[in-house]
């Protein structure tokens, strides 16, 4: 039996030329995650991270507060889908991240506005009608993540490692949970929108089956500082 902790990266740089880097708050969130693992994990875990900068930064900062000698196994199969590309296929002007940020700053309810954009862009992507327009199709992304999860489980069996921590993104975590619960695409992305930065979702691998133990845990962030609770 093994336990897998799926960690969403800390807050990234929304609206910047490069989203793929942690904000100052994201760095603090990652350190709080590390403190939490130091308190709760008795033995060093296997640590895996996507190759995106926000995944690597979150992993490094978390480990600096917990298991600083544990190496990070970088695996691009845990990378997030290209959300900027998916957004820009839905609305071409969003190919420039700063334009989306400008729009968000003008509305009374930024989260509701982003949810509307997100839903429209995702519906177009998962609908398959426009697959030829995307770098990675929805089915391709889903298959990639499910394969990464199965490969990790098999590795845990082979090495008898009891715990693994994976630093990744909300879309990836949603697909993993969707696999366990048998959810369809719309349900999977409903989960995605609720996952907080630097939250932990826990799976258990036992007797060849995955079980969901917890989803989107973030109590340690609120206990440290309520201002650390972010979604974007």
Instruction: Please give the model's pTM, rounded to 2 decimal places.
Output: 0.93
Q: pLDDT band for position 108 (50/70/90)?
A: confident
For 160-202, what is each residue's pLDDT tens digit? 999 999 999 999 999 999 999 999 999 999 999 899 999 999 9
Task: Show the CA angle centred on residue 52, arms to residues 114 and 130, nearest 5°.
Answer: 55
- Residue pair 37/66 in contact by the 8 Å Cβ criterion: yes
In the chain, the DSSP E strands lie at 2-8, 46-49, 72-74, 163-168, 200-206, 209-217
> Which structural domains are found in the chain, ordered by start?
2-79+138-228 (3.40.50.1240), 82-135 (no CATH)
Per-residue pLDDT for 19 more than 90?
A: no
Per-residue pLDDT for 13 more than 60?
A: yes
- Rounded Cα distance between 168 and 58, Å, is 9
Which pLDDT belongs to residue 16? 58
Which pLDDT belongs to residue 17? 58
- Rounded Cα distance between 224 and 158, Å, is 37
Per-residue pLDDT for 146 more than 60?
A: yes
């Amino acid at each position: 039996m093994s336990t897998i902790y799926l960690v969403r990266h800390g807050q990234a740089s929304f609206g910047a030329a490069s989203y793929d880097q942690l904000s100052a708050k994201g760095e603090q969130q990652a350190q709080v995650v590390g403190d939490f693992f130091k308190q709760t994990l008795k033995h060093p875990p296997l640590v895996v991270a996507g190759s995106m900068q926000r995944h690597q930064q979150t992993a490094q900062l978390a480990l600096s507060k917990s298991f600083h000698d544990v190496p990070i196994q970088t695996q691009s199969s845990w990378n997030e889908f290209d959300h900027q590309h998916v957004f820009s296929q839905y609305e071409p002007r969003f190919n420039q991240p700063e334009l989306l940020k400008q729009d968000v700053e003008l509305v009374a309810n930024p989260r509701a506005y982003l949810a509307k954009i997100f839903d429209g862009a995702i519906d177009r992507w998962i609908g398959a009608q426009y697959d030829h327009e995307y770098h990675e199709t929805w089915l391709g992304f889903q298959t990639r993540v499910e394969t990464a999860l199965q490969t990790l489980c098999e590795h845990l069996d082979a090495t008898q490692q009891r715990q693994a921590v994976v630093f990744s993104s909300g879309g990836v975590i949603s697909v993993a949970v969707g696999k366990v619960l048998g959810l369809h695409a719309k349900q999977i992305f409903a989960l995605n929108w609720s996952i907080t930065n630097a939250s932990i979702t826990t799976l258990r691998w036992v007797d060849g089956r995955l079980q969901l133990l917890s989803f989107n845990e973030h109590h340690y962030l609120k206990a440290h500082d309520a201002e650390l609770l972010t979604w974007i």
